[in-house]
A and B are shown apart, each in its own frame.
Chain A
Amino acid sequence: MQSTIKRIIFFVLILIAWQGTVRILGVSPALMPAPTDVLDELAKGFADKTLIYDIIASFRRLAIGLAIAIIIGVGLGILLAKNKTADETLGTLILALQSVPSIVWLPIAIMWFGLNEKAVTFIVILGATLVMTINMRIGIKNVSPLYIKAAQTMGSRGWDLFIKIIFPASIPYAVTGIRLGWAFAWRALMAGEILSAGPGLGYTLKFASDFGNMKLVIGIMIIIGVIGTIVDILFFQRVEKNVLRRWGLETNN
Chain B
Amino acid sequence: MFLQIQDINKQFVNQNTASTVLSDINLDIKEGEFVSILGPSGCGKSTLLSIVAGLTKPTSGEILLNGQRITKPGKDRGMVFQQAALFPWMTVEENVMFPLRKQMKKKEAKELAHHFLQKVQLSNYTKHSPHELSGGMQQRVAIARALSMNPKVLLMDEPFGALDEQTRSRLHHELEKIWLETKKTILFVTHSISESIKLSDRIIVMGTRPGVILEDIQVRIPRPRAQHPQMTAKLEEKIMRLLQSEIDKVVKEELAYAVNN
Say whether A and B bind each other.
Answer: yes
Interface residues, chain A, with chain B CB atoms under 8 Å away: 146-147, 149-157, 164-165, 168-169, 171, 245-248
A-B contact pairs, 16 of them (CB 8 A): A146-B83, A149-B73, A151-B87, A151-B98, A152-B54, A153-B53, A153-B146, A154-B78, A154-B98, A155-B75, A164-B98, A168-B87, A171-B89, A245-B131, A247-B88, A248-B131
Q: By CB atoms of chain A within 10 A, which of B77, B81, B88 has the most?
A: B88
Check: B79 CB closer than 8 A to any chain A CB: yes
CB-CB < 8 A to B75: which residues of A?
153-155
Known: A153-B55, A154-B149, A155-B74. A247 touches B85 (CB 8 A): no
Chain A: minimal CB distance from B48 (Å): 15
Q: By CB atoms of chain B within 10 A, which of A150, A153, A154, A248 has the most?
A: A153
Chain B: minimal CB distance from A132 (Å): 20
CB-CB < 8 A to A248: which residues of B?
88, 130-131
Interface residues, chain B, with chain A CB atoms under 8 Å away: 53-55, 73-75, 77-79, 81, 83, 85, 87-89, 98-99, 102, 129-131, 145-146, 149, 155
Q: Is A146 a contact partner of B81 (Cβ separation < 8 A)?
A: yes
**Docked complex Cα distance between A22 and B130 (Å):** 58
Chain A: minimal CB distance from B214 (Å): 28
Q: Is A246 a contact partner of B131 (Cβ separation < 8 A)?
A: yes
Q: Is A246 a contact partner of B81 (Cβ separation < 8 A)?
A: no
- Return the chain A residue nearest B85 by Cβ: A150
Q: Is B77 a contact partner of A153 (Cβ separation < 8 A)?
A: yes
Inter-chain pairs besides A153-B54, A154-B145, A164-B98, 14 sampled, C-beta below 8 Å: A149-B55, A153-B55, A153-B73, A153-B74, A154-B78, A155-B99, A155-B102, A156-B98, A245-B131, A247-B88, A247-B131, A248-B88, A248-B130, A248-B131
Known: A245-B131, A246-B129, A248-B131. A153 touches B79 (CB 8 A): yes
**Docked complex Cα distance between A208 and B79 (Å):** 67
CB-CB < 8 A to A169: which residues of B?
87, 89
**Docked complex Cα distance between A154 and B78 (Å):** 7
Q: Is A149 a contact partner of B81 (Cβ separation < 8 A)?
A: yes
Q: Is B88 a contact partner of A165 (Cβ separation < 8 A)?
A: no
CB-CB < 8 A to A153: which residues of B?
53-55, 73-75, 77-79, 146, 155
Chain B: minimal CB distance from A242 (Å): 11
- Return the chain A residue nearest B74 by Cβ: A155
